[in-house]
Structures are given as structure tokens and as C-alpha cells.
């Protein structure tokens, strides 16, 4: 990249709007954002949302794809999935640090 100041995003995206337990709302959000972002074949996601829960691996894969399209559509020079796969930011490193015991996810 030859830009002096490339345009990047700092931080992470919220959980994808279709990763909710309310299936009707999930379908609505998937269609709305699929159209806005120009996501090809978002109908496949709609089908999945009607059959599976918000934490299904395929639905999380779609959340990553929507995150990528979101940043592409914004014109960023560097894109990533917005950490859509992240469960708990401290869980992974704590597995390798002696003296800590991971006791579950805490919502803040």
C-alpha cells in the first residue's frame, strides 16, 4: 500500500444485527443489511436463520462476511471481519497463563 495515511478502522464491530434469538428480527436484519451492503446470496443466510440459532458456526461465518462487506462499502483500505468470532477477549490468553481459571463469559 502506497498511501501515506491509509484509512483503517480501530476497534471492533458490534455483534452482527442478525445474531439475535428473535428469529423474525434476525431475518429482517439479514435482508436489510444484505441489500444495503450488496451481499450476494444473502437468502442462504435467511434460510439458516430460520433453522439454526445465532451462535451456529455458519451464521457466525456470515457475520464475518457482512463485517467485511461493511468495511469494503465504507471504502477502508484495510478490512477485517470486525472480530465477529470473538467470544471473550480474555479467554484465549488465560488458557496459557498459570494461576488463572476461566469461569465463563461475563457480559458488560
Which long-range contacts does 69-74 make (Cβ < 8 Å, 24+ apart)?
A: 69/37, 69/38, 69/39, 70/13, 70/37, 71/9, 73/36, 73/37, 73/38, 74/9
What's the pLDDT score for residue 69? 96
The grid coordinates listed for 64 are 464475518
Residue 33 lies inside a defined structural domain of this protein: yes
Residue 67 lies inside a defined structural domain of this protein: yes
Question: pLDDT tens digit string along 1-54?
Answer: 688 999 998 888 898 999 999 999 999 999 999 999 999 999 999 999 999 998
When divided into structural domains, the chain yields a total of: 1
**Containing structural domain, residue 45:** 23-82
* 37 neighbors 70 (Cβ within 8 angstroms): yes
Question: pLDDT tens digit string along 46-93?
Answer: 999 999 998 899 999 999 999 999 999 999 999 999 888 876 666 777
Residue 95 burial (10 A CB sphere; 0-12, 13-18, 19+): exposed
- In terms of pTM, does the model score above 0.85? no
Residue 12 lies inside a defined structural domain of this protein: no
Residue 49 lies inside a defined structural domain of this protein: yes
Amino acid at each position: 500500500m502506497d498511501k501515506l495515511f491509509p484509512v483503517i478502522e480501530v476497534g471492533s464491530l458490534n455483534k452482527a444485527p442478525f445474531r439475535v434469538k428473535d428469529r423474525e428480527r434476525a431475518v429482517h436484519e439479514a435482508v436489510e443489511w444484505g441489500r444495503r451492503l450488496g451481499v450476494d446470496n444473502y437468502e442462504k443466510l435467511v434460510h439458516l436463520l430460520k433453522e439454526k440459532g445465532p451462535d451456529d458456526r455458519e451464521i457466525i461465518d456470515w457475520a464475518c462476511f457482512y463485517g467485511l462487506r461493511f468495511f469494503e462499502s465504507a471504502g477502508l483500505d484495510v478490512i477485517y471481519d470486525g472480530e465477529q468470532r470473538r467470544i471473550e477477549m480474555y479467554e484465549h490468553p488465560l488458557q496459557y497463563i498459570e494461576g488463572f481459571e476461566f469461569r465463563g463469559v461475563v457480559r458488560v
